[in-house]
Amino acid sequence: MVNRMDRTGLRAVPAEVVVSGDVLALPDGDATAEVTAIAVVNDDFGVPALVVATLADGRQVRIATGSMAYLEPVDSELGVSAVAADHGSPEELVAQIAQAHPDSDTLQGVAARLARGINLKAGSNLQDLHQFALTLLVDEGDTASALSVADLLAGLPFDGNFGRWKWIEGGLAIAAYLTRHDDARSARYSAALRAADDAETDPLRAKTAAMYRQRQLNEPNVYDPEILRASGAGRTDVERDWRVLRIGVLLYLRAHGGSETLSRDVLERRIAAELAAVTALDARLAGG
């Protein structure tokens, strides 16, 4: 039982990512109930306005889009992702994928570190999982495996620790991109990525943070000077590393829905171009 003031042990998620099977804290503050169906109601302009959750007893709870819902933790918050469960454990998932890419020194090195045990509350492990997923996407083109690993991160909630969150956020951005042809699923990842945006409860600080965030979205650092400098100096390896960082920024921007200066379509074209550029640089490095 929970009450309105005590949300200890619950996870806050954007209303848009609540799905059937979640256990929702109810508005009266002293009970929870399983969600059996979800519907989204648009306003008169066609914009999603309400998430309507149907409960196991037939009642319906309406939640405004953009607001936070509170759910009971599931296995993914306790350290066992639903994706990894299909493979036995996160460690087994990583090991199986690494076995399929024996020539990748990066994947082998990360897999060796993670083989000691994956703690989904440890920032270093989250960083390794993010690197593993990004390497699968950028270097190996193994999108299915990249999504499986990204999902290990995507199932984790925002807990106020921004050091941990940046790696979870990166996993959500990768997952949102890889599911871009499934609008509903991709939108859930994107909505989850914005969980930290609503974390600030002080109105003035929240407004200031929103203004700063919008400026970052409109004027992102995509490492143009660094890439040009490395390219001009013939430092292929350095240029490659900066372009991988650029891909991470573009993935984040895309998951955020783009910005006032960069639309989602433009971002998807730029991501594709950067992936191709890194592939070409990898070929150049391999050729000596």
CA–CA distance, 157 with 114 (Å, rounded to integer): 21
Compute the distance between CA of residue 131 and CA of residue 178 in angstroms, rounded to an integer.
16
- Report pLDDT for 230: 94
Render pLDDT for 136-167 as a digit per residue (tens, 0 to 9): 999 999 998 899 899 999 988 888 788 898 99
Whether residue 174 is predicted with pLDDT greater than 60 in this model: the reply is yes
Indicate the DSSP class of residue 26. Answer: P
32-42/60-64 β-pairing: unpaired
Query: For the residues of 141-174, what is the DSSP string, one character each?
Result: --HHHHHHHHHHHHTSPP-S-HHHHHHHHHHHHH
For 250-265, the pLDDT digits (tens) are 999 999 888 778 888 8
3-class DSSP assignment, residue 41: strand
Q: How does pLDDT run across 104-125, given as a tens digit for each residue?
A: 999 999 998 888 888 888 999 9
With the CA atoms of 144, 149, 151 and 153 taken in that order, what torsion angle do they form, in degrees rounded to the nearest 10? -160
- Give the whole-number percent of the chain exceeding pLDDT 70: 79
Neighbours of 14 (CB within 10 A): 23
Spatial separation of the C-alpha atoms in residues 172 and 166, rounded to whole Å = 10
- Other residues' Cβ atoms within 10 Å of the Cβ of residue 187: 18
Helices assigned H by DSSP within the chain:
82-85, 90-99, 105-114, 123-135, 143-154, 162-178, 183-193, 203-218, 224-232, 236-255, 264-286
pLDDT, average across residues 228-243: 94
| Comparison of pLDDT for 206 and 239, the residue scoring more | 239
Q: How far apart are the C-alpha atoms of 180 and 59, rounded to whole Å?
A: 33
Domain limits, the chain:
11-71, 76-195, 203-286
Report which of 155, 170, 3, 121 is spatially closest to residue 70, judged by C-alpha positions. Answer: 3
Cβ atoms of residues 52 and 40 within 8 Å: yes
**What whole-number distance in Å separates Cα of residue 123 and Cα of residue 246?**
22
pLDDT at position 132 is: 96
Token pair listed for 43: 């306003």
Q: Which of 209, 125, 206, 237 is nearest to 171 (CA)?
A: 125
**pTM, to two decimals:** 0.68
Q: Domain 11-71, what architecture? A: Roll (2.30)
- Asked whether the predicted pLDDT for residue 3 surpasses 50, the reply is no
Cross-strand pairs, 69: 13
Strands across the sheet containing 32-42: 11-14, 68-71, 23-25, 32-42, 48-55, 60-64
Tokens of 244: 């991988």
- Signed CA dihedral, 41, 52, 183, 195: sign only: positive
